[in-house]
Amino acid sequence: MEVRSFLEGQGRRPTLPMQRRRFKTKPRLQQWIEEKSLMCHQCQRNDNGRVVRCKKCKRKRYCIPCLTRWYPDTVEDFIAESCPVCRGICNCKACLRLDVPVKNLKNLELEVSKDVQIECYKFVLQTLLPFLRRINDEQMIEKEMEAKIQGLVLPELKIEQAYCPIDERTYCNNCKTSIFDFHRSCPRCSFDLCLICCQELRDGHLQGGEGEVTMQYIDRGFDYLHGGKEKKVKMSTEPSPKDHVKPKSWWKAEKDGSIPCPPEDMGGCGHCILELRCIFAENLVSELLRKAEEIARTYKLMDVAAIPSQQRLCFNSVGDVDLSNGELRKAASREDSDDNYLYCPRAQDIDHGDLKHFQWHWSRGEPVIVSCVLESASGLSWEPLVMWRAVRQLKHIKHDRDLEVTAIDCLDWCEGPINIHQFFIGYNKFRPDRDKWPQILKLKDWPPSNLFEERLPRHCTEFLSCLPFKEYTHPQKGPLNLVVKLPEKSLKPDLGPKTYIAYGFAQELGRGDSVTKLHCDMSDAVNVLTHMAEVTLGDEDLANIEELKKKHFEQDQIELFGNIKAVDGKVENNISDGVSCKSDDDKFSEVGDQNQDVTEELAAPIFQLVGSTGDTGMNDNDSLRGSELEKTEAEVDQNNNDGSGGPGVSRNKLEGLEASEGGALWDIFRRQDVPKLQEYLKKHFKEFRHIHCCPLQQVVHPIHDQTFYLTLDHKRKLKEEYGIEPWTFVQKLGDAVFIPAGCPHQVRNLKSCIKVALDFVSPENIGECIRLTEEFRTLPQDHRAKEDKLEVKKIIVHAISEVVDNLDQKPRSETATA
């Protein structure tokens, strides 16, 4: 009692007999947990029968039903040796949402030595210096003009600094291009004008302020989507699209070069003269250029345009393509061209020296494919239902809302809500509309790209760990990812990661295919196929599709080609137009993708073509055109035209090992072929369909409109008429596709796919980023590609500023001995 009273007086509780007994029985309890407990870690149930116990931690166990459902490709011995918890790949809801550092990811962080970092700094400076000179020249021209207007000599000129918070953007009121430094602004109404618009206005050809262009897509009803009668629609009495362009009011520069604020109908006030303003310090760019050029001379860096071409990699001593190392994949058959093969290393085989090899192809504007990147990560499941369970609800009250997502129907390119669980059921199982046509859906912005890391932290970490060439792709530390150079608190562009989840079928349906239409990204990108699932169609399903394709063909012959005589049932060897169509019960509405005139029986040859890339012993003179392609087509015609007299969709699987293993078909065009590609699309645009399956009536920009998908038939006509073709290849599970900025590309899912993409900005392609920014500024005000969110000139200034700060600290003596 005395001891007890003393402990209570000290505020401490004495050890009770029961507590001592519990301590003594702990080893027995531990033994029971290890040997007797049937509680499954995954489902937290103990009534599901036999469990597999982990021999490593001896505390976790998984029941057979959970292993079958959530780890279908994992054998029991693998689980017993080290359970998913020990391996860091457990996909139960608790572990997926656990906010703790992820273990077992060796490739997550990027470690760069000081020497490599210095080489990267020198490369960035060497590449970006010409663009910094151009920026400085633009500013000096405007400063000299302002000095002339004010009647001052240049050294006497003082430019007022505009207020722009670091976490905000300023846009030109005329062309909507972002303003990073020098601009002209109205002191009364704050109308801002970028330097390019100032120069164009003085030259008398101002661009970028074109009014809105309204595209009309009439909903003619569901029957129309499959070649049936269209419902009666009251035609709009609104003026034609051309009449929707708002006329510009009279606005021009004064004789002395000063620019008045535009009238009210152009967003200004019409009363003041626009004054020159700067966002950075007045002489920041010119002083930065002076220091950068001094460092470039110190390091004896040549102007990037004068660098002699490096040794031709991937070629042998006699100048032929070297296929011996297995790192090349044939993707095109252009005559007299050395870029028909793409560099395709295996992730596990990449070492430090391969970065130079990657840069050689990357500097030529060529895509690169890195295979088996998922093997570099922990093995976390990308099954759609696992991702769904992993998504964190930020607030409990939003749980119901998270069950409903927005999907786009690839038939009519309209959007609408769908239960997320129902969507994922259709991901693995055939989902027909009421006419038994495949209803192909794609999720729109799920989870939102700006919330990907927050809502799916484990999957985001898994994705970043598997990315190859992290010098370019690491979103926080990549020394050659120029976006990293932006200040920490600045408003940065949303470059992902972002998921693309959509259904898919191997057959080219022609109408309603799961496609991403032809477009061109402002920045570089890497796209990883993380999951795919094949949906099997029965014979009855295929027969229904074949009958509907006949109706599609007849409708296209009348509407797109005006060929009424062709509509007599003879469609065996004709074109079945691939257009954008609409879905069964969900009514959607937004931009999309799909047009198409498609030769149905030509679905297989493209895989025969791709399937022979690099693993058939071809040399660089082999061509898939000519007799070989004709032979392939003949074989496909024989396989497809099985007496049914209709377009060939009678087979559920296509020939070719690569096609069967692949999930998505890619077409990427070379930059130098863009003018001819645009000319072809402008010539043939009426052969394509878009929203509500309406034939296209107008083209603003053939690529940036994102209203075209070139089927195999169109790619053939493009080759015949203009002599160009894309790189065409199949993306397999675990393939990371690197797409250079400025290369138009399109994608068609061959299976249901989950892809994750990340954008980045490389020094080699900064010129393309600038070109595309200047191209986007000339689009109409309401165009989908109009807004400039990249701010590439701002990136250049901050990137060189970081380089100067780091290289300028290097002792001159050390440099001299280098």
Please give the structure tokens belonging to residue 721.
């008429």
Q: Where are the alpha helices (DSSP H) in 153-266?
A: 195-203, 222-225
Burial 568-602 (b: 16+ CB within 10 A, else e): eeebbebbbbbbbbbbbebebeebbbbbbbbbbbb
Secondary structure letter of residue 347 according to DSSP: G
If you average pLDDT over residues 173-181, what whole number do you get? 90
Helix residue spans in 243-383 (DSSP H): 284-298, 354-363
Torsion angle of C-alpha atoms 27, 28, 29, 33, degrees rounded to 10:
100
Task: Report how far residue 643's alpha carbon sits from residue 771's, in angstroms, rounded to the nearest whole number.
Answer: 52
Encode pLDDT of 774-804 as tens digits: 898 888 877 877 777 789 999 999 999 999 9
Task: Tell me, rounded to whole angstroms, the distance of Cα 695 from its chain centroid.
Answer: 27
Bond into 726 cis (ω within 30): no
Mean pLDDT of 458-486: 92
Question: Tell me, what's the pLDDT at 653?
Answer: 38
The DSSP line for 530-545 is EEEEPPP--HHHHHHH
Beta bridge partners of 275: 185
Residue (of 497, 496, 481) closest to 765 by Cα position: 481
**317-374 tens-digit pLDDT:** 555 666 666 788 899 999 888 889 999 999 988 887 788 889 999 999 999 999 999 9
Is 649's pLDDT higher than 70?
no
CA dist 358 and 361 (Å) reads: 5
Q: Is the pTM of this model over 0.95?
A: no
Residues 6+ away with beta carbon under 8 Å from 486 = 492, 794, 795, 798
Which CA distances in Å does 151 have to 138, 198, 202, 562, 724? Answer: 20, 19, 19, 66, 55
Residue identified by tokens 């402002």 is 522
pLDDT at 621: 36
The size of the chain, in residues, is 818
Q: Is 749 a residue whose pLDDT tops 50?
A: yes
Predicted confidence at residue 782, as pLDDT, reads 76
Confidence of residue 6 (pLDDT cuts 50, 70, 90): very low
CB-CB contact of 404 with 420 (8 Å): yes
CA distance 613 to 619: 10
- Residue among 557, 588, 585 nearest 570 (CA): 557
The residue ranges of DSSP E strands in 614-767, in sequence order, are 662-668, 727-732, 736-739, 745-749, 752-760
Paired tokens of 76? 């029991």
Cα–Cα nearest to 706, from 810, 591, 596, 790: 591
CA distance 558 to 300: 66
Tokens for 36? 């007797």
**Residues 227/569, Cβ–Cβ less than 8 Å:** no
Q: What is the mean pLDDT of the chain?
A: 78
At position 413, the amino acid (one-letter code) is W
Placement of tokens 């020094």 in the chain: 763
The phi and psi torsions of 744 (rounded to 5 degrees) equal -60, 140
Q: Using an 8 Å Cβ cutoff, are 235 and 220 in contact? A: no
Look up residue 689 and give its two tokens: 């369909």
- The pLDDT of residue 74 is 84
User: Measured between alpha carbons, how far is 441 from 676 in angstroms, rounded to an integer?
Assistant: 32
pLDDT tens column, 417-430: 998 888 988 998 88
Does residue 605 have a cis peptide bond before it, meaning omega lies within 30 degrees of 0?
no
Q: Of 204-213, 463-472, 627-636, 655-664, which range is least confident?
A: 627-636
Burial class of residue 213, CB neighbours in 10 A (0-12, 13-18, 19+): middle
Contacts of 300 (CB under 8 A, 6+ apart): none
Quick one: tokens of 626? 């000519």
| Closest among 599, 690, 788 to 176, alpha carbons compared | 788
Dump pLDDT digits (tens) for 9-43: 444 444 444 444 444 446 665 666 667 788 899 88
In this predicted structure, the answer to whether residue 562 has a pLDDT above a threshold of 50 is yes
Supply the angle between the helices 114-150 and 195-203 in degrees, to the nearest 10: 40
* pLDDT confidence tier of residue 242, bands split at 50, 70 and 90: very low
For helices 766-776 and 792-807, what crossing angle results, to 10°?
A: 150
Residue 593 pLDDT > 60: no
Reported as a single tens digit per residue, the pLDDT across 285-301 is 999 999 999 999 888 88
Q: What is the pLDDT of residue 337?
A: 87
**pLDDT value for 552:** 84
What does the pLDDT look like over 436-460, one tens digit per residue?
A: 889 999 998 788 767 788 888 888 8
Question: Residue 362 region, left (φ>0) first, then alpha (ψ -120 to 50), else beta?
Answer: alpha
Give the span between the Cα atoms of 688 and 594, in whole angstroms.
Answer: 8
What local confidence, expressed as pLDDT, does residue 652 receive? 36
pLDDT of 168 above 60:
yes
Model confidence at 761: pLDDT above 50 = yes
Separation CA 26–CA 218 (nearest Å): 74
Q: Average pLDDT of 127-150?
A: 93
**Which pairing describes strands 61-63 and 51-53: parallel, antiparallel, or unpaired?**
antiparallel
pLDDT category at 570 given cuts 50, 70, 90 is: very low
Alpha-carbon gap, residue 257 to 254, rounded angstroms: 5
Residue 607 CB burial class (10 angstroms; 0-12, 13-18, ≥19): buried
Q: What is the pLDDT of residue 95?
A: 82
